[in-house]
Structure 1
């Protein structure tokens, strides 16, 4: 099997995903083009050698419809021979794109690929695609589907996490992200977003709140209590989990991932193309994994996908130096760490989506890029990125520095 190498990874900063967010006036295609252009220029890349671009995007309607991967390539002025395809595996889409590209290279079917993701949540609101997973009553009732916030509260209830546990984790996310920005740990891969005149729009993650504390978060009301009790979703979840008497609603805006805009891409290929184009491999993709999980609790996929990726790589959990776990809700990484007996000192050391936001289709690619940079900064060898996914799935990728 051919090795798949990561040559580079870049991302935009994350902008608040509302009308008053810094990136609201930037279309998703331009966010994507911004990263593609940077990837080309940083690597002095002749884009005619790129065979395909696989881009994750979740809400594929309006400006994000019509194969935004190809639209982004055209906007960035890439060679017309470069193909593009858009994929949707919900929150795992950006990492799914990378995994697919890696597998193409491993199988010897392509030499050089671009993979990543994009999401403009301020311009194309989450759920505006009318997903059956959210809006089809038959699907909801037959499969006991509940909103993800209810699933997060179900996890916290089932495994005994307190509101204080969740708020302490969220506070740590903000503190770590703030420290990482102050220390310049993201600078290597951040591509500032500029307008058509070249004026700077955003060069930092917009939602980090360094003054966050458990006491401040403790003043926030639960976000999903009314939805669960008055909307009937608690009852649906308890039909699947009758051993739980009552769901405790503990997640709120402060210990859940933020809605943001952003894009991220990676350059992936084999040794032959690296030698031909003078590209320096930074890491090798050791294994990839995807799993399905029970769809009501929905968000527990990181642990089984991680275990599967480890089996495929012939590794143990102790072989992994650093982890990036998407902080969709605080209960998700807490459950992951508990399930695999991992220290928080190894997980999301530069903060996560609770502090910086979760641009659905792009997050997986951002996690892998952050992981790559941090492994290099610390001089560590191996890392894993993993995300929970709507509908009950999990995805994981293991990389090893070259």
Structure 2
């Protein structure tokens, strides 16, 4: 059985050159989270066998197995190995699920799993992904930008601009309240520069002043791209029952571009006893699925169904959900398809309010979910993310 012993994350910094974390490389963000895992036992670095880290844009300073680079910068022993994985937006949760599988199989005793992304220093698309730039791939498989996929879901299933703006407003309100009440405090690690000066202590892009009127005034982000670049026509080719794509997503109801890192400490029961640590939760099940790549972002629904089936659970057995807010339509569609009440989903806000540091988000959401389960004295939770190329990932955890 795989247990979660600790969860640490950085605050999320604005993913631009004027963001608070722009001066730090991704490896420095990651190394600070590695160091923080010693807070429950100074012996952790000596017993960790491997670190699996998600990172989406693995070029330049984020290339070359950033997991191992982060371990070296954190001062971990040479005996600790590191691997970097990429499953687009699901990378951080994929890392968690890989580590859990190793531990469940009895092949590892103690591992680190998490993710990192510096979107200010290594912008999305810098790696020249074929899903973004290869005409043969794009035309041959009807690959459209994710924002247009989000608009396609909204069009196909009838979600209005006002509904999605209301969801975005609620996310901002929930995140603001969560920070005011210090709900993220157990996991958030203030980020320091190389001189030990604190750069950032809380998520940087939360906008407490957000209003529905302000959201309504924003122009759709993907309308011009859809018409001028032909992506709307490509979407209609795949979904000819639709007359047109209605563009309803914009900067205010889509996830924010941010920098950040998050890690979990996972192990079996015996290693916890050796190190004098109490497990906080266990991994009940994990799941990965593939979905149709044009509409792309519906994966959390079948991934959740698969994870629940593997755990022998029903949707009503889950106390809280973290559904990544890549775009407002994603959690909205999830709740409708699985008949989940909004009071159980992203109760402290999500990526619309606080940002989506691609490779780190999955691991970050596990820590956020666990903190809130403990705060409310609840038992079970599920994390799920949509993934580029048409995939979905999910993980079920249960408090110990």
Look up the match of 1:285: 283
Look up the match of 1:294: 292
Give secondary structure in 1 for the equivalent of 2:99: helix
Contact 2:322–2:383 (CA under 8 A) maintained in structure 1: yes
Distance in 1 (CA, whole Å) between partners of 2:199 and 2:236 is: 46
Distance in 1 (CA, whole Å) between partners of 2:198 and 2:5 is: 27
Look up the match of 2:370: 372
Report the Cα offset of residue 222 of structure 1.
0.2
Single out whichever of 43-52 and 381-390 deviates more from structure 2. 43-52
Q: Are 1:357 and 2:355 matched, yes or no?
A: yes
Q: Are 1:180 and 2:192 matched, yes or no?
A: no
Look up the match of 2:392: 394
Give secondary structure in 2 for the equivalent of 1:237: helix
Q: Are 1:320 and 2:321 matched, yes or no?
A: no
Distance in 2 (CA, whole Å) between partners of 1:7 and 1:270 is: 9
Give secondary structure in 1 for the equivalent of 2:103: helix
Give secondary structure in 2 for the equivalent of 1:298: coil
Distance in 2 (CA, whole Å) between partners of 1:96 and 1:5 is: 16
Distance in 2 (CA, whole Å) between partners of 1:349 and 1:294 is: 29
Single out whichever of 189-198 and 308-317 deviates more from structure 2. 189-198
Single out whichever of 192-201 and 316-325 deviates more from structure 2. 192-201
The equivalent position to 1:55 in structure 2, one of 53, 58, 76, is 53
Distance in 2 (CA, whole Å) between partners of 1:18 and 1:47 is: 33
Report the Cα offset of residue 44 of structure 1.
2.4
Single out whichever of 293-302 and 208-217 deviates more from structure 2. 208-217
Single out whichever of 378-387 and 194-203 deviates more from structure 2. 194-203
Distance in 1 (CA, whole Å) between partners of 2:274 and 2:308 is: 32
Look up the match of 1:161: 159
Distance in 2 (CA, whole Å) between partners of 1:289 and 1:137 is: 31
Look up the match of 1:209: 207
Query: What are structure 1's unaligned runs of at least 5 residues?
Result: none
Equivalences for 1:1-400 in 2 at 5 Å?
3-400=1-398
Report the Cα offset of residue 40 of structure 1.
1.9
Report the Cα offset of residue 395 of structure 1.
0.2
Report the Cα offset of residue 198 of structure 1.
1.2
Single out whichever of 56-65 and 208-217 deviates more from structure 2. 208-217
Give secondary structure in 1 for the equivalent of 2:349: coil
Give secondary structure in 1 for the equivalent of 2:167: helix
Contact 1:168–1:213 (CA under 8 A) maintained in structure 2: no
RMSD, aligned α-carbons: 0.6
Distance in 1 (CA, whole Å) between partners of 2:5 and 2:216 is: 43
Report the Cα offset of residue 45 of structure 1.
3.0
Contact 1:290–1:305 (CA under 8 A) maintained in structure 2: yes
Report the Cα offset of residue 46 of structure 1.
3.5
Contact 2:41–2:275 (CA under 8 A) maintained in structure 1: no
Runs of 4+ off more than 3 Å: none
Distance in 1 (CA, whole Å) between partners of 2:142 and 2:228 is: 17
Give the TM-score normalised by the residue count of structure 1: 0.99
Give the TM-score normalised by the residue count of structure 2: 0.99
